[in-house]
A = this chain, B = another copy of it.
Amino acid sequence: MKTQLTLSPEPITEVPPAISDGMGAVVVFHGVVRGTEDGESIAAIHYEANEAMARHQFELIFTAIENQWPVESIRLVHRVGEVAVNEASLRVEVIAPHRAEAFAACQFLIDEMKAKVPIWKRAVR
């Protein structure tokens, strides 16, 4: 399984998936900063990461995915620092032979990230 992990302050740019033979399904998820937090208007969210630990925890999740599903490739970008409203803070791309495992792996990855990867947010008003 190929993996690519990017933690960066740069805006997320769309890149076409690199499909290889036998791969039938690509699932891409974008998490986008919404304009309100706890009912109040915000301008941006500032993301802080414990970067070394975050990288390690992502790698553990990638390994758990590889052990469960026949996934060909995962690319994940999580922004750190300030992300303006309506911009993506997260992009996950999962490529697999069939859609069931691509969707399952993508949702598992996001759920696990939200439980384990040390990244925190702070609303910027």
Chain B CB within 8 A of A17 CB: yes
Chain B neighbourhood of A107, CB < 8 A: 103
Q: A interface vs B, CB < 8 Å?
A: 14, 16-17, 19-36, 85-86, 88, 97, 99, 102-103, 106-107, 110
Chain B neighbourhood of A22, CB < 8 A: 34-36
CB distance from A13 to the nearest CB of B (A): 9
Count copies of this chain in the complex.
Answer: 2
Contact yes or no, B34 A30, CB < 8 A: no
Given B20, B27, B31, B110, which contacts A29 in the complex, CB threshold below 8 Å? B27
Contact yes or no, A29 B30, CB < 8 A: no
**A–B Cβ pairs within 8 angstroms, 16 of them:** A14-B16, A17-B30, A21-B35, A21-B85, A21-B86, A22-B34, A23-B32, A23-B86, A24-B33, A25-B29, A26-B28, A26-B32, A26-B88, A27-B29, A28-B28, A103-B103
Complex alpha-carbon distance, A28 and B110, angstroms: 15
Complex alpha-carbon distance, A82 and B48, angstroms: 47
Chain B neighbourhood of A16, CB < 8 A: 14
